[in-house]
Amino acid sequence: MNGEERKVDIQHNRGLGTIIGTVTDYLTGILLSKILIEVFNLEEELIASTVTNFSGKYKLTGLPIGKIIMKARSKSFILQSKVVTLKANGN
């Protein structure tokens, strides 16, 4: 204003994402309940976790967008891990 220089602090809202899925046995296709689903950032810090319901379904909300690591684990199955790119306001 009037030739004055001012600093403005603008915070960028990166948005949040949701992951919805179903866990099944790779060989039989059977829906798997009580599977631990974990989400980590790329530094391997835990962000969120949940357990699949009786229908093998899970939902994680409020996740940061960008690349994350998803892991599914159970005592009876081999650990599965995957890098996923979550988009703003996306599923």
Q: What is the pLDDT of residue 12?
A: 45
Let me know the angle formed at the C-alpha of 40 by 81 and 47, rounded to the nearest 5 degrees.
140
Concatenated DSSP letters for 31-64? B--S-EEEEE-TT--EEEEEE--TTSEEEEEEEE
Q: What is the pLDDT of residue 76?
A: 87
10-residue averages of pLDDT along the chain (91 residues): 53 70 92 96 95 96 93 91 84 57
Decide if 65 contacts 15 (C-beta within 8 A).
Answer: yes
